[in-house]
Amino acid sequence: MLTRVRSAVASLMGGMMAGGSNGDHPDGPDLPLKFPYSRPDFLGLSPDEVECSADHIARPILILKESRRLPWSTGYAEVINAGKSTLNEDQARCEVLVVKRRPSGSPMSNRIPTARRRSSLPNGEGLNLQDNPDSSEELTFHYWALFDGHAGSGAAVVASRLLHHHIALHLQEVLEILCTPNLVPPTCLDEEPINHLLTVTSHRGLTRAASLRGAAGAPGSPNTATPRFFTEKKVSHESLVIGAIENAFKDMDVQIEREKASYNVSGGCTALAVVFLKGKLYVGNAGDSRAIIIRAGEIIPMSAEFTPESERQRLQFLAYMQPQLLGNEFTHLEFPRRVQRKEVGKRMLYRDFTMSGWAYKTIEDNDLKFPLIYGEGKKARVLATIGVTRGLGDHNLKVHDSNIYIKPFLSCCPEVGSTCSFIMLLLSLSMCGFVYDALNSSNVPITPNVQQNLVMV
Amino acid sequence: MLTRVRSAVASLMGGMMAGGSNGDHPDGPDLPLKFPYSRPDFLGLSPDEVECSADHIARPILILKESRRLPWSTGYAEVINAGKSTLNEDQARCEVLVVKRRPSGSPMSNRIPTARRRSSLPNGEGLNLQDNPDSSEELTFHYWALFDGHAGSGAAVVASRLLHHHIALHLQEVLEILCTPNLVPPTCLDEEPINHLLTVTSHRGLTRAASLRGAAGAPGSPNTATPRFFTEKKVSHESLVIGAIENAFKDMDVQIEREKASYNVSGGCTALAVVFLKGKLYVGNAGDSRAIIIRAGEIIPMSAEFTPESERQRLQFLAYMQPQLLGNEFTHLEFPRRVQRKEVGKRMLYRDFTMSGWAYKTIEDNDLKFPLIYGEGKKARVLATIGVTRGLGDHNLKVHDSNIYIKPFLSCCPEVGSTCSFIMLLLSLSMCGFVYDALNSSNVPITPNVQQNLVMV
């Protein structure tokens, strides 16, 4: 149902880009690129084909060449979002990685890459896992990721090149534990075992009332000097993988910020990463891309979108606690529309960070400031600038013609879910129409002005 | 299946109360009580019966007398939680209230009570609604609420007496709107109508790229002087009711704090309030009590519990942003158990506010502080003190033998859900066993050390 369309129509951008980010790297334009701009390696495009892919008139749909195969027969299709940016600012990545034990005695380094790629992807050879079963010394994981870029292609290019290495690094830290199926992750590495049973038994007689007075070892409790432990939380292998993915996103964002001192890394991007490890699929999402599972005709969302509307209360709470982030130009309160000066003293609908409902308040001068969250649906914006509230990059992004930074409101932390199901689609924000078409096995024309990027497993 | 058990066994508290809050009002003991201690009015207990209800040996189950009826044939049962506090610190309330239009020209006052009770509850007469149908001038709502008290009975008593009046006050503010079924709540009261259609049409041509540069009227955008509006959010009647309940909880908490200057209002309480208004049931919950609906044998939770575990990330985020709230004695990081000095320099499992998974970090001196969130399940505590993270009161609660206040971490804001289903149970934290018994229509003995409070509709 996916067709590979090649177009030789010359780029005729016309006035379409007039207002948009145009991919010419407004951040640090005098610095070199960290990585050259390209489409995903696994598409195997020639420079000429890359140029054609950015044709805003023909909008060719790019899919895999038949000679190239991704693991699990993964499918992929993309098309440029006409009229938005000169280049397609989105990126995708598919890898099979092997994490090996760190050489003993080596210091904790952040060297990248630590993980050796098993196969010579993207040409797809050497993927036969059965020829090379896992030893207890190494861990193989599959990785698919989408990066929906904005305001430049730099962050998405860097993240597509490096995020999986950060994940591999964090998995390497817990490699020995993950490779030992029945081992409960030790609370403290290299510690002597503690007889938990004895400790628990000796405290069983405590009433809830007595324990309310202060847990053992709590400040002010009588036994601060010799802490005792009621229980010790047991942590699962799955929690370690989730923690590894979470911290990898954070490290990726820190690295992008660091690289900007030496390189031109423009814009920002969402990140939606899927990791398959030891029979489980983990979906880490920071942004408004979507991962869905299709099972028995049912569509199961595997990620939640992070937008000004879905994260309104987190953002309002942050602004309420740190009002200096609003630069005296914005208010953390939400109103159904912009307040006008003539309305001061009247009663208007509002929402604070504590509210999911609405109420009326008397309008004051301070309410004339622009709302932190403004607009509805796809037009909702944070600080009148950005429509997605999690992702990587954007460190230099400011409110237009001001010194107010957006980044403090953007979280790079993904929400990570896991499942044992394997049939999955990753898609960027505007793909729903196309996915439903695909599900119906019909080949209706793609609606215009829709950006598409998907990986099908 | 519920039996009314009366016991004449004298109170034999023994050493059970040694460590617990004992209901003798540690806050402001020299001040008078705002309201006298009692059991819910609708139980119609004599002073002698109130005394018997606190019998920690017999633990009588109190239900409604046959001569007393609550609206909708509501059922109710309670039993004291043996060994916890001298008096039952929980409270309950059931009311039918009529909200009337504020006399025209009257100032916005916070006078309580504004709402007149339709019936002379708790004696249950005068409840026949059909004899007195709603006029467009007034709004009738049903109200059931549970307050699970701790560290004294004062806050629960005050909240059970006043929360419904705060809800009535906030509903009164939107009375005219709620009484006009097809009226979309106006954004600004007394404003001239705006031709939204025209405004929307004139902006339809804007691309997403252009709109990204800055919404109309945003700081720095060219047209700040004459704000224009893309759209105006439409707010539902239901949102106004939810907003009224949310703000009523906040006002109730502010009032408790204010009353403590003149009265002895001890302890704190959770609040679970159900409002039935114009065919919809609203459930507002701040705490760890539970509301459930039983429909066709299926149990549907209508509230989520707010505990140190369910609110860990909110609490850690707050402590991370305002570390002075931790008084240099606590750390916002979570560890599976207390860190010991000999473990400094080793790698230990931890979770930060951004994480749902776990990872290892190298232990530093700062990690030796007591964790903000500590313990598991029912033993989980905030600041080693409290096991519930939302509720009313607790303004003076401090960490034992310190000047660290707990209140900044406790939210008085409820989560409000709504439904059109009417068969509901409200129950306090430890009631599950009893509820399942009730569902099975068997009358097995109540397990000891379980506190029970429920309203059945």
Residue A196 forms contact with B (CB below 8 Å): no
Q: Name which residue leads in pLDDT, A311 or B426.
A: A311
Are A349 and A360 within 8 A, CB to CB? Answer: yes
10-residue block means of pLDDT along chain B (457 residues)? Answer: 27 31 53 93 90 87 81 83 84 94 57 38 32 63 93 96 98 95 91 40 34 44 45 92 98 98 96 92 93 78 94 97 96 95 96 97 97 92 96 97 97 91 53 31 31 35
CA dist A127 to A133, A138, A280, B432, Å? 11, 16, 19, 52
Residue of A173, A188, A404 lying closest to B348 (CB–CB): A188
Interchain contact, B20 vs A209, CB within 8 Å: yes
Residue B309 forms contact with A (CB below 8 Å): no
Q: Which residue of B has its CA nearest to A383?
A: B218
CB proximity under 8 Å: B 249-278 to A: 250
Please give the helix or strand (H or E) that residue B282 lies within, else none: strand B280-286
pLDDT band at A427 (very low <50, low <70, confident <90, very high): low
pLDDT of residue A37: 94
Q: State how far residue A441 is from chain B, nearest Cα, in angstroms.
A: 30
Q: How far apart are CA B239 and CA A358, in angstroms?
A: 5
Percent of chain A at pLDDT above 90? 53
* Strand B62-63 with B75-79, pairing: antiparallel
pLDDT digits (tens, 9 = 90+) for A183-197: 999 999 975 444 333
Residue of B84, B322, B384 lying closest to A209 (CB–CB): B84
pLDDT of residue B80: 85
Core vs surface per residue B259-277: b (16+ CB within 10 A) or e:
bbeebbbbbbbbbbbbbbb
Interchain contact, A242 vs B19, CB within 8 Å: no
pLDDT of residue A148: 93
Return the residue in A207, A326, A348 with the most chain B beta carbons within 10 A, the one to mutate for interface testing: A207
Q: In the block, which residue shows the tokens 């007034």?
A: B138
Q: State how far residue B454 is from chain A, nearest Cα, in angstroms.
A: 21
Are B209 and B222 within 8 A, CB to CB? Answer: no
pLDDT digits (tens, 9 = 90+) for A153-165: 999 999 999 999 9
Q: State how far residue B196 is from chain A, nearest Cα, in angstroms.
A: 11
Beta strands in A51-148 (DSSP E): 62-63, 75-79, 91-100, 116-117, 138-147
Are A176 and A49 within 8 A, CB to CB? Answer: no
pLDDT of residue B447: 33
Q: State how far residue A129 is from chain B, nearest Cα, in angstroms.
A: 28
Q: Name which residue leads in pLDDT, B214 or A271.
A: A271
Residue B244 forms contact with A (CB below 8 Å): yes
pLDDT band at A452 (very low <50, low <70, confident <90, very high): very low
Q: How far apart are CA B388 and CA B411, in angstroms?
A: 10
pLDDT digits (tens, 9 = 90+) for B144-178: 999 999 999 999 999 999 999 999 999 999 999 99
Chain A residues touching B241 at Cβ < 8 A: 357
Which fold does the domain B41-181+235-306+415-456 belong to in CATH?
Phosphatase 2c; domain 1 (3.60.40)
pLDDT digits (tens, 9 = 90+) for A322-370: 999 999 999 999 999 999 999 999 999 999 999 999 999 999 999 999 9
Q: Name which residue leads in pLDDT, A81 or B87.
A: B87
Please give the helix or strand (H or E) that residue B200 lies within, else none: helix B196-203
Are B169 and B161 within 8 A, CB to CB? Answer: no
CB-based burial label for A415 (10 Å; 0-12, 13-18, 19+): middle
Give B371's Cβ-side CA count (13 Å radius): 26
pLDDT of residue B422: 56
Architecture of domain A41-181+235-304+415-456: 4-Layer Sandwich (3.60)
Chain B residues touching A189 at Cβ < 8 A: 346-348, 360
pLDDT of residue A126: 32
Over range A17-23, report the average pLDDT. 37
Residue A66 forms contact with B (CB below 8 Å): no
Q: State how far residue A231 is from chain B, nearest Cα, in angstroms.
A: 7
Over range A121-146, report the average pLDDT. 58
Residue B357 forms contact with A (CB below 8 Å): yes
Residue B370 forms contact with A (CB below 8 Å): yes
CB-based burial label for B354 (10 Å; 0-12, 13-18, 19+): middle
Complex ipTM > 0.95: no
CB-based burial label for A206 (10 Å; 0-12, 13-18, 19+): middle
| Angle in degrees, CA A109, A114, A120, rounded to 5 | 165
Are B233 and A337 within 8 A, CB to CB? Answer: yes
CB-based burial label for A424 (10 Å; 0-12, 13-18, 19+): buried
Residue B196 forms contact with A (CB below 8 Å): no
For the beta carbon of residue B9, count every other beta carbon within 10 angstroms: 12
Q: In the block, which residue shows the tokens 């602004």?
A: A319
Chain A residues touching B220 at Cβ < 8 A: 384, 399-402
Interchain contact, A359 vs B21, CB within 8 Å: no
Q: Where are the domains of chain B?
A: 41-181+235-306+415-456, 312-387
Token pair for residue A137? 């010394």
Token pair for residue B111? 């006078």
Q: State how far residue A73 is from chain B, nearest Cα, in angstroms.
A: 30
